[in-house]
Every structure is written in structure tokens, then in C-alpha cells.
Structure 1
């Protein structure tokens, strides 16, 4: 088996069991080391926003994650509002960041007017620049944390903006972050797998707060940092960390392409990046 004997730390709670199973089939050991915890919004706050949208609608709705769209749909369904919400979505222009939001939209039989090409906030802003927002009502679903650049862009364009935050990504408990950091520094892992930007940011923030960021970067010359795709890889590269990501942004591809990469005898020099 191509990854036999290797130890992979998994930093994301979502779909971690699926990823672990794929790794185990390749002979690897999967260790659950989440760097984030997801906290759902308080139902009363989200209910008020959903009722307002169901009644008044909006000119634009911007979805930044598939999980956010599904959470809003689930909450609306629980409240008996989904049909009204969906009807308003059909009347709105919809913009998306990333393919996961697109897939979630398709599952509900809806279409997007605008899509960011590369899955980044910057790409979404670029796509939105061709449209007028002055005086337009815009509902913006955020992706677990603030998006100041996107919010600032819409405000500067004169949008009447309402932000929906169906869930938040918070750092994992300090003890868990410390355990992962120490394992990486001690080179006790072969690879660390990141499937979202917050997972990266919370580990880097934890290391930075303890004055260990430089040491972490050095350790990643011996331990592989694996990212699900280009967007997740970006903050690692910006921190000067060697990072590998698959050509296809899927959990299965991350494992199979990395296994093929290793089986092909390919190696990157320490400190280099893909």
C-alpha cells in the first residue's frame, strides 16, 4: 500500500471520518487533530433574519460556502419557511464563492448569476465589480468568520447590506492545538492535512502566540503540509511553509494524488512549494 506506515494528522472535523477511511485503505494511520470547532448561530437571531428574508427578499444574495447555504436551508425548513425563502431566492440574483456553494445551490434547483472563478474572496469581488449595488438590498452569508474585504467592497458600492453568519469557526481548545504543534515540532507526524483556511489560520495563530512560528515552518520541511486546494494552501505559502495540494480539489484526490506523487519518487526540496 502506497502510504503504508505514514501518520497523517487531520485538522478538520468535517468529513474527517471519510478522509481517515481513505487513508487507512492506503495503509496510513489517521490521527484526529482538529484545529477548529464550529459553533452554530443562536436560533432566535437566525430565525429573525430568515423571517425577514422570507417576507421581504433581497436584490442580491451572496453565498460563500455550501455548508452555510445548507444550514440556512435546514433552519428555514425547521421553521416552515423554506418554500417562502426559496421563492425569494428565485427572485434574487445569486452570487457564489467556490464550487461547494455551487453544488449546494444546484441541489436546491437554483442558479447563480455570478460565480467567483477561483473560490477566493478576491475572485468573487472581481466578478461582482461588473454589477451595480448602489441602493440594492444584499444578504451576505459569511463563512464562519468575518470577511472584511468583501463587506467593505459592498458598502463602498452603496449596498444595503445584511450579514448572515449561520456558524462560526473558532479555535480548537488550547490543549488540542498545543498537542498538534508539539507533534509537528517533534517530527512525530509524516503529514498534516488542512481542508479549510480557518484550520490553517488557527494553527499558525497558536504557534505565533507562543513564539514558535519560525520553528513550525522549519518543522514543515520534514513534515508534509497537505492542503485540499489552492485557496487552503495560500496562507501556508504566505507563511513560508512548504505545501502540496492535489490538482483536483476533492478529499479522495488529495489522498490518491499524494500517494501517486510519492510512488513516482517525486520530492520537493525543503522550503520549496507546489
Structure 2
């Protein structure tokens, strides 16, 4: 086993247990080191928005994450509104970002009129440019943090926009970020696994605030920075950090494709 004894710091709170199980089967040692926390929206705020949508619908609904759609579904079920919400979705034009959102949409028997090609906001905006939004009512499900470029595009096109934030990402407590940073700097971990952009941003922001971003970048010359895919890899690359990601954006592929590299433990990044 090429991963035997390697220590992997897992930065994502979601599906970390699944990833840990796959790593253990390869003989690796997973360490839970979340760099973010997910905070659900205030129930009364989301309820008001769901009731409004169930009653009035919209011309367009845009989903930017699968988990966001599932959270809306869950809350609508609790409120007894799901059938009305689903009926309104069937009447609306639907756009989405990413394969996870598409998969979640299909689970509910719905199809998208517009979708990105690469899992990015830029790709979604490009897909939306073929459609008119002047005077259109648009419900936009955000993905845990603001999306200023997407919001600006829709408003510039004349959309009447309502933003839904079923959950938001906040950085992990400083003590948790400090522990992970120290483990990377002292080479106590062999690899750090990022499965979303906010996970990357929180670690880099903390290192920058502490004046240790440059030595963190140096540490990543010996410690592997692993990303679930191209979108997650981008902020690492922009920071000057060498990063590896699998061809297939799945947690299983991340482990198996990495394990298949020639001598990952001996060679380093």
C-alpha cells in the first residue's frame, strides 16, 4: 500500500467520515481538521422565503450547490410546503452550477435549462448569458457565502433578485486553525485534503493574518496539498501552492488516483 502510514488532514466537515474510511482501507491515517463550520440559516428567515416561493413562484430558480437544494427540500418538507415548492419549480426555468446540484435536481425529477460546464460561477454566468432576465423574478440559492459576480450579473441584466442562503460557511475557531497550521509547518502531516474553496480560503486567510503565509507555502513543498477538483485547487494555485487533484471529482477517486501515483510518499509533491 503506497499510502500506508501517511497522515492526511481532512479540512471538510461534510463527508469527512466517508473519506476517512476510504483512506483507512488504503492504510492511511486520517485526521479530522475542519477549517470551516457550516451554520444553517435562521428558520424564520428561510420559512418566509419558502412560503413566498410556494405561493408566488419565480421565472427562474438558480441552484449553486446540491446541499443547498437538499436543505431547501428538507425545510420545505418540515413546513409541509414541498409539494407546492416542487410544483413551482416545475413551472420555473431552472439553472444550476456543478454536478452535485444537477444530481440533486434529478433526484426530484427536475431538469435544468441552463448549467455551467466546469463547476464555476464564471461557467454559470456564461451559460446564463444566452437568456434574457429583464424583469424576470429570480430566486438564487447561494452556496454558503456571497456570490457578488453572479449577483451583479443578474442585476445588471434587469433581474428582480431574491437571494436564499440556506446555510453559510464560517471559519473554524482560531485554535483549530492554529493546530492544523502548526502540523503543516512542522511536517506532522503528509497531506492536507481540501474539498471546497472555503476550506482553502479559511486556512490561507488565517496564515496570512498570522504572518506565516510564506512559510506555509514553503511547507507545501514537502506536504501534499490535495484538492477534490479544479475549482477547489484554484485558490491554492493562485497563492503559489503546488496542488494535486484527481481527474474525476469524487472523494473515492481522490484517494485511489493519488494512491496510484508513482511513489507518492517518497517523491513528495
TM-score by length of 1: 0.96
1:188 maps to which residue? 188
- SS of 2:52's partner is helix
1:18 equivalent to 2:2? Answer: no
2:213 maps to which residue? 213
Deviation for aligned residue 1:266 = 9.4
Distance in 1 between residues matched to 2:85 and 2:49, nearest whole Å: 11
- Give the conservation status (yes or no) of the 8 Å contact 2:59–2:92: yes
The two structures, once aligned, show a CA RMSD in angstroms of: 1.2
2:126 maps to which residue? 126
2:73 maps to which residue? 73
The superposition leaves residues 1-20 of structure 1 with CA deviations (integer Å, 9 ceiling, x where unpaired) of: 22001000000010100100
1:59 maps to which residue? 59
Deviation for aligned residue 1:264 = 8.0
- SS of 1:12's partner is coil
- SS of 2:135's partner is coil
Deviation for aligned residue 1:257 = 0.2
- Give the conservation status (yes or no) of the 8 Å contact 2:3–2:265: no
- SS of 1:261's partner is coil
2:241 maps to which residue? 241
2:175 maps to which residue? 175
Deviation for aligned residue 1:265 = 9.1
Distance in 2 between residues matched to 1:262 and 1:240, nearest whole Å: 24
TM-score by length of 2: 0.98
Runs of 4+ deviating beyond 4 Å? 263-268
Distance in 2 between residues matched to 1:2 and 1:185, nearest whole Å: 23
The superposition leaves residues 116-157 of structure 1 with CA deviations (integer Å, 9 ceiling, x where unpaired) of: 000000000011011100100000000000000000000100
Deviation for aligned residue 1:262 = 3.6
Deviation for aligned residue 1:187 = 1.1
- How is 1:1-274 mapped onto 2 (pairs within 5 angstroms)? 1-263=1-263, 267=267
Distance of aligned partners of 1:6 and 1:265 in 2 relative to their CA distance in 1, 3 Å threshold: closer
Distance in 1 between residues matched to 2:98 and 2:36, nearest whole Å: 20
Distance of aligned partners of 1:266 and 1:117 in 2 relative to their CA distance in 1, 3 Å threshold: farther
Structure 2 regions of 5+ residues with no counterpart? none
The number of equivalent residue pairs is 269
Deviation for aligned residue 1:32 = 0.3
Structure 1 regions of 5+ residues with no counterpart? none
Distance in 2 between residues matched to 1:187 and 1:82, nearest whole Å: 49
- SS of 1:226's partner is strand
Distance in 1 between residues matched to 2:77 and 2:264, nearest whole Å: 49
Deviation for aligned residue 1:188 = 1.0
Distance of aligned partners of 1:199 and 1:264 in 2 relative to their CA distance in 1, 3 Å threshold: closer
